[in-house]
Structure 1
Amino acid sequence: MRIAVSGTHRSGKSTLIDALSDLLPNYVAVDEPYHQLEEEGYAFAETPSVEDFEEQLARSIANLDEDPRDVLFDRCPVDFIGYLLAHEDRDAFDLDEWLPRVRRALRKLDLIVLVGIERPDRITLSASDDEALRLAVDEKLKELLLDDPYALEVEVLEVEGAPSARAKQVLEHLPVQEVQNKI
Protein backbone atom coordinates (compact mmCIF):
# COMPACT_ATOMS: atom_id res chain seq x y z
CA MET A 1 0.00 0.00 0.00
CA ARG A 2 1.00 3.62 -0.52
CA ILE A 3 0.17 5.69 2.54
CA ALA A 4 0.76 9.40 3.08
CA VAL A 5 0.71 11.03 6.50
CA SER A 6 -0.68 14.54 6.28
CA GLY A 7 -0.95 17.41 8.75
CA THR A 8 0.22 20.86 9.67
CA HIS A 9 3.66 21.42 11.14
CA ARG A 10 4.24 20.08 14.64
CA SER A 11 1.21 17.80 14.62
CA GLY A 12 2.99 14.46 15.11
CA LYS A 13 3.35 13.29 11.49
CA SER A 14 7.00 12.26 11.74
CA THR A 15 6.39 10.51 15.07
CA LEU A 16 3.58 8.52 13.45
CA ILE A 17 5.78 7.67 10.43
CA ASP A 18 8.49 6.40 12.82
CA ALA A 19 5.98 4.24 14.69
CA LEU A 20 4.50 2.85 11.48
CA SER A 21 7.98 2.15 10.10
CA ASP A 22 8.67 0.01 13.17
CA LEU A 23 5.33 -1.80 12.83
CA LEU A 24 5.56 -2.23 9.06
CA PRO A 25 9.28 -2.93 8.50
CA ASN A 26 8.87 -3.83 4.82
CA TYR A 27 7.62 -0.31 4.06
CA VAL A 28 9.93 2.40 2.78
CA ALA A 29 9.58 5.80 4.49
CA VAL A 30 9.98 8.84 2.22
CA ASP A 31 11.06 12.04 3.94
CA GLU A 32 9.02 15.19 3.45
CA PRO A 33 9.82 17.32 0.38
CA TYR A 34 11.17 20.22 2.47
CA HIS A 35 13.99 18.05 3.80
CA GLN A 36 14.64 16.45 0.40
CA LEU A 37 14.95 19.85 -1.29
CA GLU A 38 17.04 21.31 1.53
CA GLU A 39 19.43 18.35 1.28
CA GLU A 40 19.79 19.03 -2.45
CA GLY A 41 20.72 22.66 -1.78
CA TYR A 42 17.41 24.42 -2.33
CA ALA A 43 17.49 27.72 -0.42
CA PHE A 44 14.17 28.36 1.31
CA ALA A 45 13.22 31.87 2.34
CA GLU A 46 13.27 32.51 6.10
CA THR A 47 9.49 32.80 5.91
CA PRO A 48 8.49 30.31 3.19
CA SER A 49 7.18 31.98 0.05
CA VAL A 50 4.50 30.82 -2.37
CA GLU A 51 7.34 29.67 -4.65
CA ASP A 52 8.86 27.61 -1.81
CA PHE A 53 5.56 25.82 -1.22
CA GLU A 54 5.02 25.30 -4.96
CA GLU A 55 8.48 23.72 -5.17
CA GLN A 56 7.53 21.35 -2.34
CA LEU A 57 4.21 20.61 -4.04
CA ALA A 58 6.01 19.72 -7.28
CA ARG A 59 8.43 17.44 -5.38
CA SER A 60 5.56 15.76 -3.54
CA ILE A 61 3.87 15.01 -6.87
CA ALA A 62 7.16 13.68 -8.27
CA ASN A 63 7.63 11.47 -5.20
CA LEU A 64 4.28 9.81 -5.88
CA ASP A 65 5.33 9.16 -9.46
CA GLU A 66 8.66 7.57 -8.54
CA ASP A 67 8.35 5.43 -5.46
CA PRO A 68 7.33 1.76 -5.39
CA ARG A 69 4.51 0.14 -3.46
CA ASP A 70 4.61 -0.24 0.31
CA VAL A 71 5.60 3.34 1.01
CA LEU A 72 4.97 5.74 3.89
CA PHE A 73 5.13 9.33 2.63
CA ASP A 74 5.76 12.14 5.09
CA ARG A 75 3.30 14.62 3.55
CA CYS A 76 1.41 14.59 0.27
CA PRO A 77 0.43 17.23 -2.31
CA VAL A 78 -2.63 18.25 -0.28
CA ASP A 79 -0.37 19.44 2.55
CA PHE A 80 1.19 22.05 0.29
CA ILE A 81 -2.15 23.15 -1.10
CA GLY A 82 -3.21 23.69 2.52
CA TYR A 83 -0.15 25.84 3.17
CA LEU A 84 -0.60 27.76 -0.06
CA LEU A 85 -4.28 28.48 0.61
CA ALA A 86 -3.40 29.67 4.13
CA HIS A 87 -0.42 31.77 2.95
CA GLU A 88 -0.63 35.55 3.18
CA ASP A 89 0.17 35.72 -0.56
CA ARG A 90 -2.34 33.01 -1.48
CA ASP A 91 -3.65 35.10 -4.40
CA ALA A 92 -0.34 34.41 -6.19
CA PHE A 93 -1.15 30.68 -6.16
CA ASP A 94 -3.25 29.33 -9.05
CA LEU A 95 -4.96 26.27 -7.59
CA ASP A 96 -6.85 25.53 -10.81
CA GLU A 97 -3.54 25.18 -12.66
CA TRP A 98 -2.30 22.57 -10.15
CA LEU A 99 -5.49 20.55 -9.53
CA PRO A 100 -5.23 18.17 -12.53
CA ARG A 101 -1.65 17.17 -11.57
CA VAL A 102 -2.61 16.83 -7.91
CA ARG A 103 -5.61 14.63 -8.68
CA ARG A 104 -3.50 12.35 -10.92
CA ALA A 105 -0.84 12.06 -8.22
CA LEU A 106 -3.34 11.33 -5.44
CA ARG A 107 -4.75 8.40 -7.45
CA LYS A 108 -1.43 6.70 -6.72
CA LEU A 109 -2.13 6.73 -2.98
CA ASP A 110 -4.18 4.11 -1.20
CA LEU A 111 -4.68 6.14 1.97
CA ILE A 112 -4.01 9.54 3.49
CA VAL A 113 -3.71 9.56 7.27
CA LEU A 114 -4.66 12.98 8.62
CA VAL A 115 -2.95 14.00 11.85
CA GLY A 116 -4.81 17.06 13.09
CA ILE A 117 -4.25 19.39 16.00
CA GLU A 118 -6.09 18.04 19.01
CA ARG A 119 -7.85 19.92 21.80
CA PRO A 120 -6.04 20.12 24.13
CA ASP A 121 -2.98 20.30 21.91
CA ARG A 122 -0.58 17.41 22.50
CA ILE A 123 2.39 19.31 21.04
CA THR A 124 4.40 21.88 22.96
CA LEU A 125 5.32 24.73 20.64
CA SER A 126 8.44 26.84 20.74
CA ALA A 127 8.36 30.63 20.63
CA SER A 128 9.42 30.52 16.98
CA ASP A 129 6.46 28.39 15.87
CA ASP A 130 3.82 30.33 13.92
CA GLU A 131 0.71 29.24 15.82
CA ALA A 132 -1.70 31.22 13.62
CA LEU A 133 -0.37 29.60 10.45
CA ARG A 134 -0.35 26.18 12.10
CA LEU A 135 -4.02 26.52 13.03
CA ALA A 136 -4.99 27.92 9.61
CA VAL A 137 -3.27 25.06 7.79
CA ASP A 138 -4.86 22.48 10.10
CA GLU A 139 -8.28 23.92 9.31
CA LYS A 140 -7.54 24.02 5.56
CA LEU A 141 -6.31 20.41 5.52
CA LYS A 142 -9.41 19.18 7.32
CA GLU A 143 -11.57 21.04 4.81
CA LEU A 144 -9.61 19.76 1.80
CA LEU A 145 -9.41 16.14 2.94
CA LEU A 146 -12.61 15.60 4.91
CA ASP A 147 -15.04 17.87 3.03
CA ASP A 148 -13.31 17.29 -0.36
CA PRO A 149 -14.48 20.50 -2.09
CA TYR A 150 -12.12 19.88 -5.06
CA ALA A 151 -13.11 16.24 -5.70
CA LEU A 152 -9.71 14.85 -4.78
CA GLU A 153 -11.48 11.55 -4.05
CA VAL A 154 -8.88 9.93 -1.85
CA GLU A 155 -9.48 7.70 1.15
CA VAL A 156 -8.74 9.58 4.37
CA LEU A 157 -8.33 8.28 7.90
CA GLU A 158 -8.24 10.93 10.62
CA VAL A 159 -6.30 9.72 13.67
CA GLU A 160 -6.09 11.06 17.19
CA GLY A 161 -4.68 10.25 20.58
CA ALA A 162 -1.24 9.27 21.77
CA PRO A 163 1.31 8.21 19.12
CA SER A 164 0.78 4.50 19.84
CA ALA A 165 -3.00 4.92 19.55
CA ARG A 166 -2.59 6.70 16.21
CA ALA A 167 -0.41 3.90 14.85
CA LYS A 168 -2.93 1.32 16.07
CA GLN A 169 -5.75 3.18 14.29
CA VAL A 170 -3.80 3.03 11.02
CA LEU A 171 -3.06 -0.69 11.41
CA GLU A 172 -6.70 -1.41 12.21
CA HIS A 173 -7.70 0.46 9.05
CA LEU A 174 -5.43 -1.58 6.79
CA PRO A 175 -6.71 -4.81 5.24
CA VAL A 176 -5.84 -7.76 7.52
CA GLN A 177 -3.78 -9.47 4.82
CA GLU A 178 -1.78 -6.27 4.30
CA VAL A 179 -0.74 -6.14 7.95
CA GLN A 180 -0.04 -9.88 8.11
CA ASN A 181 2.07 -9.77 4.95
CA LYS A 182 4.14 -6.80 6.05
CA ILE A 183 4.92 -7.59 9.67
Structure 2
Amino acid sequence: MRVAVCGTHRAGKSTLIDELSDLLPAYVTVDEPYHQLEEEGYAFAETPSVEDFEAQLARSIADLDGGPGDVLFDRCPVDFLGYLLAHEDRDAFDLDAWLPRVRGALRKLDLIVLVGIERPDRIALSASDDGALRLAVDEKLKELLLDDSYAFGVEVLEVEGATRARAKQVLEHLPEASR
Protein backbone atom coordinates (compact mmCIF):
# COMPACT_ATOMS: atom_id res chain seq x y z
CA MET A 1 0.00 0.00 0.00
CA ARG A 2 1.05 3.54 -0.69
CA VAL A 3 -0.06 5.76 2.18
CA ALA A 4 0.45 9.50 2.61
CA VAL A 5 0.07 11.31 5.92
CA CYS A 6 -1.32 14.78 5.35
CA GLY A 7 -2.00 17.79 7.58
CA THR A 8 -1.05 21.32 8.48
CA HIS A 9 2.18 22.12 10.33
CA ARG A 10 2.43 21.08 13.97
CA ALA A 11 -0.50 18.63 13.72
CA GLY A 12 1.44 15.43 14.52
CA LYS A 13 2.13 14.05 11.02
CA SER A 14 5.80 13.27 11.50
CA THR A 15 5.15 11.78 14.93
CA LEU A 16 2.51 9.52 13.38
CA ILE A 17 4.89 8.59 10.54
CA ASP A 18 7.54 7.62 13.12
CA GLU A 19 5.03 5.46 14.99
CA LEU A 20 3.79 3.80 11.79
CA SER A 21 7.38 3.17 10.66
CA ASP A 22 8.00 1.25 13.88
CA LEU A 23 4.76 -0.72 13.51
CA LEU A 24 5.18 -1.35 9.77
CA PRO A 25 8.90 -2.16 9.35
CA ALA A 26 8.42 -3.46 5.79
CA TYR A 27 7.29 -0.01 4.65
CA VAL A 28 9.72 2.48 3.13
CA THR A 29 9.32 6.00 4.51
CA VAL A 30 9.68 9.04 2.26
CA ASP A 31 10.58 12.25 4.08
CA GLU A 32 8.59 15.39 3.44
CA PRO A 33 9.60 17.46 0.39
CA TYR A 34 10.73 20.44 2.50
CA HIS A 35 13.48 18.35 4.12
CA GLN A 36 14.45 16.71 0.82
CA LEU A 37 14.81 20.08 -0.91
CA GLU A 38 16.64 21.61 2.04
CA GLU A 39 19.17 18.75 2.02
CA GLU A 40 19.76 19.42 -1.68
CA GLY A 41 20.53 23.07 -0.99
CA TYR A 42 17.22 24.71 -1.88
CA ALA A 43 17.10 28.09 -0.13
CA PHE A 44 13.63 28.66 1.31
CA ALA A 45 12.49 32.20 2.09
CA GLU A 46 12.14 33.00 5.80
CA THR A 47 8.41 33.38 5.20
CA PRO A 48 7.56 30.67 2.63
CA SER A 49 6.66 32.08 -0.78
CA VAL A 50 4.34 30.72 -3.44
CA GLU A 51 7.47 29.56 -5.29
CA ASP A 52 8.66 27.67 -2.20
CA PHE A 53 5.36 25.82 -1.93
CA GLU A 54 5.30 25.15 -5.69
CA ALA A 55 8.78 23.60 -5.40
CA GLN A 56 7.52 21.33 -2.62
CA LEU A 57 4.41 20.49 -4.64
CA ALA A 58 6.55 19.50 -7.63
CA ARG A 59 8.79 17.35 -5.41
CA SER A 60 5.77 15.69 -3.79
CA ILE A 61 4.38 14.81 -7.22
CA ALA A 62 7.78 13.42 -8.26
CA ASP A 63 8.00 11.37 -5.04
CA LEU A 64 4.75 9.63 -5.94
CA ASP A 65 6.22 8.52 -9.28
CA GLY A 66 8.25 5.84 -7.51
CA GLY A 67 7.57 2.19 -8.16
CA PRO A 68 5.16 -0.10 -6.37
CA GLY A 69 5.59 -1.30 -2.84
CA ASP A 70 4.62 -0.43 0.68
CA VAL A 71 5.45 3.24 1.23
CA LEU A 72 4.65 5.86 3.86
CA PHE A 73 4.85 9.43 2.53
CA ASP A 74 5.26 12.33 4.93
CA ARG A 75 2.95 14.75 3.09
CA CYS A 76 1.38 14.57 -0.37
CA PRO A 77 0.53 17.09 -3.10
CA VAL A 78 -2.72 18.09 -1.38
CA ASP A 79 -0.71 19.45 1.56
CA PHE A 80 0.90 21.99 -0.70
CA LEU A 81 -2.35 22.89 -2.42
CA GLY A 82 -3.69 23.65 1.06
CA TYR A 83 -0.77 25.96 1.79
CA LEU A 84 -0.92 27.61 -1.61
CA LEU A 85 -4.68 28.20 -1.42
CA ALA A 86 -4.32 29.67 2.09
CA HIS A 87 -1.24 31.78 1.21
CA GLU A 88 -1.54 35.57 1.24
CA ASP A 89 -0.27 35.61 -2.39
CA ARG A 90 -2.60 32.79 -3.50
CA ASP A 91 -3.62 34.80 -6.59
CA ALA A 92 -0.10 34.19 -7.96
CA PHE A 93 -0.74 30.41 -7.87
CA ASP A 94 -2.30 28.88 -11.02
CA LEU A 95 -4.34 26.04 -9.55
CA ASP A 96 -5.84 25.00 -12.89
CA ALA A 97 -2.37 24.44 -14.35
CA TRP A 98 -1.43 22.11 -11.47
CA LEU A 99 -4.68 20.14 -11.01
CA PRO A 100 -4.09 17.55 -13.78
CA ARG A 101 -0.63 16.72 -12.38
CA VAL A 102 -1.95 16.53 -8.83
CA ARG A 103 -4.85 14.25 -9.84
CA GLY A 104 -2.45 11.98 -11.73
CA ALA A 105 -0.11 11.76 -8.77
CA LEU A 106 -2.89 11.07 -6.27
CA ARG A 107 -4.05 8.09 -8.34
CA LYS A 108 -0.77 6.46 -7.26
CA LEU A 109 -1.85 6.53 -3.60
CA ASP A 110 -4.03 3.96 -1.90
CA LEU A 111 -4.82 6.07 1.14
CA ILE A 112 -4.37 9.55 2.54
CA VAL A 113 -4.35 9.80 6.32
CA LEU A 114 -5.51 13.26 7.38
CA VAL A 115 -4.15 14.51 10.69
CA GLY A 116 -6.28 17.53 11.51
CA ILE A 117 -6.21 20.03 14.33
CA GLU A 118 -8.30 18.70 17.18
CA ARG A 119 -10.47 20.63 19.62
CA PRO A 120 -8.95 21.11 22.12
CA ASP A 121 -5.69 21.33 20.23
CA ARG A 122 -3.22 18.61 21.27
CA ILE A 123 -0.19 20.58 20.06
CA ALA A 124 1.32 23.48 21.99
CA LEU A 125 2.45 26.20 19.61
CA SER A 126 5.53 28.34 20.05
CA ALA A 127 5.49 32.08 19.47
CA SER A 128 7.16 31.54 16.07
CA ASP A 129 4.37 29.25 14.80
CA ASP A 130 1.82 30.94 12.54
CA GLY A 131 -1.41 29.88 14.23
CA ALA A 132 -3.69 31.69 11.78
CA LEU A 133 -2.03 30.05 8.77
CA ARG A 134 -2.11 26.68 10.53
CA LEU A 135 -5.88 26.96 11.05
CA ALA A 136 -6.47 28.20 7.49
CA VAL A 137 -4.48 25.31 6.00
CA ASP A 138 -6.28 22.79 8.23
CA GLU A 139 -9.63 24.11 7.01
CA LYS A 140 -8.48 24.06 3.38
CA LEU A 141 -7.16 20.47 3.66
CA LYS A 142 -10.46 19.28 5.09
CA GLU A 143 -12.28 20.95 2.22
CA LEU A 144 -9.92 19.45 -0.37
CA LEU A 145 -9.92 15.94 1.08
CA LEU A 146 -13.10 15.37 3.06
CA ASP A 147 -15.40 17.40 0.82
CA ASP A 148 -13.36 16.27 -2.24
CA SER A 149 -13.97 19.71 -3.74
CA TYR A 150 -11.69 18.98 -6.73
CA ALA A 151 -12.75 15.37 -7.31
CA PHE A 152 -9.42 13.81 -6.38
CA GLY A 153 -11.24 10.55 -5.68
CA VAL A 154 -8.64 9.20 -3.26
CA GLU A 155 -9.59 7.33 -0.11
CA VAL A 156 -9.13 9.49 3.00
CA LEU A 157 -8.97 8.41 6.63
CA GLU A 158 -9.19 11.21 9.18
CA VAL A 159 -7.51 10.18 12.44
CA GLU A 160 -7.74 11.64 15.90
CA GLY A 161 -6.50 11.08 19.41
CA ALA A 162 -3.07 10.40 20.82
CA THR A 163 -0.34 9.11 18.52
CA ARG A 164 -0.88 5.46 19.48
CA ALA A 165 -4.65 5.78 18.85
CA ARG A 166 -4.02 7.41 15.47
CA ALA A 167 -1.62 4.64 14.47
CA LYS A 168 -4.17 2.02 15.54
CA GLN A 169 -6.81 3.68 13.35
CA VAL A 170 -4.46 3.50 10.36
CA LEU A 171 -3.51 -0.13 11.04
CA GLU A 172 -7.17 -1.12 11.30
CA HIS A 173 -7.77 0.53 7.94
CA LEU A 174 -4.98 -1.34 6.13
CA PRO A 175 -5.64 -4.73 4.56
CA GLU A 176 -4.21 -7.65 6.56
CA ALA A 177 -1.60 -8.33 3.87
CA SER A 178 -0.24 -4.78 4.16
CA ARG A 179 0.50 -4.92 7.90
TM-score (ref. length: structure 1): 0.97
Q: Which secondary structure does the structure 2 equivalent of 1:169 belong to? A: helix
1:24-173 alignment runs, 5 A limit: 24-173=24-173
Q: Distance in 1 between matches of 2:64 and 2:176?
A: 24
Q: Which secondary structure does the structure 1 equivalent of 2:65 belong to? A: helix
Q: Deviations over 1:125-156 (max 9, x none)?
A: 10000000000000000000000111100000
Q: Which secondary structure does the structure 1 equivalent of 2:133 belong to? A: helix
Q: CA deviation at 1:66?
A: 2.2
1:45 maps to a residue whose letter is: A
Q: Distance in 2 between matches of 1:174 and 1:122?
A: 25
Q: CA deviation at 1:67?
A: 4.8
Q: Distance in 2 between matches of 1:49 and 1:145?
A: 23
Aligned residues between the structures: 179
What 5-or-longer segments of structure 1 have no aligned partner? none
Q: Which secondary structure does the structure 1 equivalent of 2:18 belong to? A: helix
Q: Deviations over 1:25-55 (max 9, x none)?
A: 0001100000000000000000000000000
CA contact (8 A) 2:4 2:75 kept: yes
1:55 maps to a residue whose letter is: A
What 5-or-longer segments of structure 2 have no aligned partner? none
Stretches of 4+ aligned residues off by more than 6 angstroms: none
Q: Deviations over 1:1-30 (max 9, x none)?
A: 000000000000000000000000000110
Q: Which secondary structure does the structure 2 equivalent of 1:147 belong to? A: coil
Q: CA RMSD in A?
A: 0.7
Q: Distance in 2 between matches of 1:176 and 1:26?
A: 13
Q: Distance in 1 between matches of 2:44 and 2:124?
A: 25
